[in-house]
Amino acid sequence: MPRLALLAPAMLAACAAQQPPMHGEVPGRVCQTGGVDQFIGQAGTSATGASILRVSHASILRWAPPGVMLTMDFSPSRVTVRLGPDGKITAINCG
């Protein structure tokens, strides 16, 4: 127990030095839309989604089929892929 009391201040100092992540943000992963236009018109498949994640540098992929309500919260690490009634991609945006 005495050793734990000696380590506690050091452990607290280490925690205080780190900034907590913001809600919905994955450190080092910020969505960028440059280059994602190449996927417009393609089928919304898991393979296409994986490619969109890679090109956009996002860590979270959100599919948005027609008629589905989405939350309005902004996440810099998320890419949203909107689908048409035929299951093809109509728009891609970050957040």
Predicted confidence (pLDDT) per residue in 43-84, tens digit: 999 999 999 999 999 999 999 999 999 998 989 999 999 999
pLDDT of residue 28: 72
CATH number of 23-94, picked from 3.30.10.10, 1.10.150.20, 1.10.3720.10, 3.30.70.890: 3.30.10.10
Q: What are the tens digits of pLDDT across the range 9-43? A: 554 444 444 444 445 556 678 999 999 999 999 99
DSSP 89: E
Sign of CA dihedral 22, 24, 28, 32: negative
pLDDT for the residue numbered 40: 98
Look at residue 5 and tell me whether its pLDDT is greater than 80. no
- Name the residue among 66, 69, 78 with its Cα closest to residue 23: 78
Question: In the chain, what are the helix, strand and coil shares in percent, each to the nearest 5?
Answer: 35, 20, 45
Question: pLDDT tens for residues 85-95?
Answer: 999 999 999 98
Please report the pLDDT score of residue 58 as a whole number: 95
For residues 21-58, one letter each, b for 16 or more C-beta atoms within 10 angstroms of the residue's C-beta and e for the rest, the string is eeeebbeeeebeeeebeebeeeebeeebbeebbebbbb
